[in-house]
Amino acid sequence: MGSGVVALLTLSLLLLIATHQAHSAIGVNWGTLSYHKMRPSTVVDLLKANKITKVKLFDSNPDALRALMGTGIQVMISIPNDLLSTFNPDLFVQQNLSRFMGKGGADIRYVAVGNEPFLTSYGGVYQNYVVPAMVNLQQSLVKANLASYVKLVVPCNADAYESNVPSQGTFRPDLMQIMTELASFLNSNGSPFVVNIYPFLSLYQNSDFPQDFAFFEGSSHPVLDGPNVYYNAFDGNFDTLVSALAKIGFGQMPIVIGEIGWPTDGAVGANLTAARVFNQGLINHLLSNKGTPLRPGSPPMDVYLFGLLDEGAKSTLPGNFERHWGIFSFDGQAKYRLNLGNKGGLKNAENVQYLPSRWCVAHPEKDMAQVADEHLRLACSQADCTTLNDGGSCSQLGEKDNISYVFNSYYQLQMQNEKSCDFDGLGMVTFLDPSVGDCRFLVGVTDKDLSSSSAEIMARWDIYHIWIGLVGVWALTRCYILY
């Protein structure tokens, strides 16, 4: 072989390695704060059907982990903030981690120690527990022989760092010491820095924020930073973190995006079009391998979309949009077209266990002037009514449909218990879908196996008896013919 050929082969090998390493993987966050949870196996089938190979959980739910066993899907589990100060690391590794791993088990690659524990709004109550918890947990991983396979990380909120331009990025002064310890711990154990980035929140919280800067289609307000120009909030935010890490000596640390996404309901800027444009723009940007001005050709290694499903039981303290981050609705139906990079669009969940097709509505012949405000308030304090508010998909309903929507949300929350549709005689169960336009009146789902409910078992017994009866007749006929 001539040296030219060798050089060419070496070059293409290097290119191959380089492109291989640079590719971002698109994963999802699977949150479960929902009144209408699908069976974990249904959700895992949904992941498989959409070729999603990485999933992040907010706890170490045994049912979810069991459903993920043997699928080859890589998993990040989490330790919730409020357990950071109390959990027993040896016990955690034994009961929440290694029990699910091994041959044919769940492929757990990361444990998130807390979730955004440095958020300013927590007032520092968790931050001092993070590094000690990691150190202890790392020792337990070593003892269990898992330390080279399972990596500890801390998903950080983007308000942990700040600056006007990306090159000046620095961690918040009150976090400087903790971040230095954290980064040095991550670095010595081969873990990435995990950060959650939300251009939607920048837009939502700040009316001066240029709308087109949140997206990926170019901006009429680019940020100029020395020789670098930023056309989207994501790149700017990412490079601010790169600079902050560089300032404490870890400018090369790999970065994973723990959460990123766009909600579809519950606020003016939250709608299907915006969510599709943002998420598709993000995915295309990542898969183009362009990277950012400070990390050209080197996009974040993994990116977990937030989220997989809508979570109708999430707190609405940050805003009504909180319950509408899913790329799928709570029941696993794609909300908009999205190509995750594997060609083809999203595939819906199959074999979802719906409650029967019936709804609770305001009785058409009754005067709703009598409906007690108390009823509506109570219903909406428990069930999800966020789509009724400004910017929501049901905000255009008239007064009576509005009341129907509230009645139905509550009725489904109560698993269609007949009494829950009474409302002093003003409610009525209907078998006609009352949905109007984009405003969907939901039918609940359940993670229980409906086929084993008592009514169903009775029905099966009837069929069984009829069958026995038929066999009996058949046998008699046979006897008759034989004898």
Using CB under 6 A, list all residues that contact ligand NAG.
59-60, 62, 79, 83, 87, 92, 95-96, 211, 269, 271, 273-274, 376, 380, 385, 388-389, 399, 402
Which of residues 399 and 433 has its CB atom nearest to ligand NAG in the complex? Answer: 399
Whether residue 259 lies in the annotated active site: yes
Q: How far is the CB of 296 from ligand NAG (least distance, A)?
A: 29
Q: How far is the CB of 294 from ligand NAG (least distance, A)?
A: 27
Q: How far is the CB of 394 from ligand NAG (least distance, A)?
A: 8
Question: DSSP string covering 310-374, please?
Answer: --TTS--TT-GGGG---SB-TTS-B-S----SSSS------S--BPPS-EEEE-TTS-GGGS-HH
Residue whose structure tokens are 């993994």: 302
Q: Which of 116, 322, 365, 399 is catalytic?
A: 116
Whether residue 116 lies in the annotated active site: yes
Asked whether 46 and 67 are in contact (CB, 8 A), the reply is no
Please, which residues have CB within 8 angstroms of residue 163's CB and are 6 or more apart in sequence?
169, 170, 240, 243, 244
- Tell me the residue nearest to ligand NAG as measured from the CB: 269
- State the Cα–Cα distance between residues 346 and 339, nearest whole angstrom: 7
Which of residues 269 and 341 has its CB atom nearest to ligand NAG in the complex? Answer: 269
Six token digits for residue 11? 């070059």
Residue whose structure tokens are 């590794």: 93
3-state SS class at 110:
strand
Our measurement of the distance from residue 422's CA atom to the centroid of its chain's CA atoms, rounded to an integer in Å, reads 35
Which of residues 245 and 361 has its CB atom nearest to ligand NAG in the complex? Answer: 361
Six token digits for residue 133? 């918890």
Q: How far is the CB of 397 from ligand NAG (least distance, A)?
A: 7
Closest CA to 180 of 160, 158, 162: 160
Q: Which of 162, 181, 217, 259 is catalytic?
A: 259
State the CB neighbour count (10 A cutoff) for residue 296.
Answer: 10
Q: How far is the CB of 91 from ligand NAG (least distance, A)?
A: 8
Q: How far is the CB of 477 from ligand NAG (least distance, A)?
A: 57
Which of residues 179 and 203 has its CB atom nearest to ligand NAG in the complex? Answer: 203
- State the Cα–Cα distance between residues 50 and 350, nearest whole angstrom: 12
Catalytic positions: 116, 259
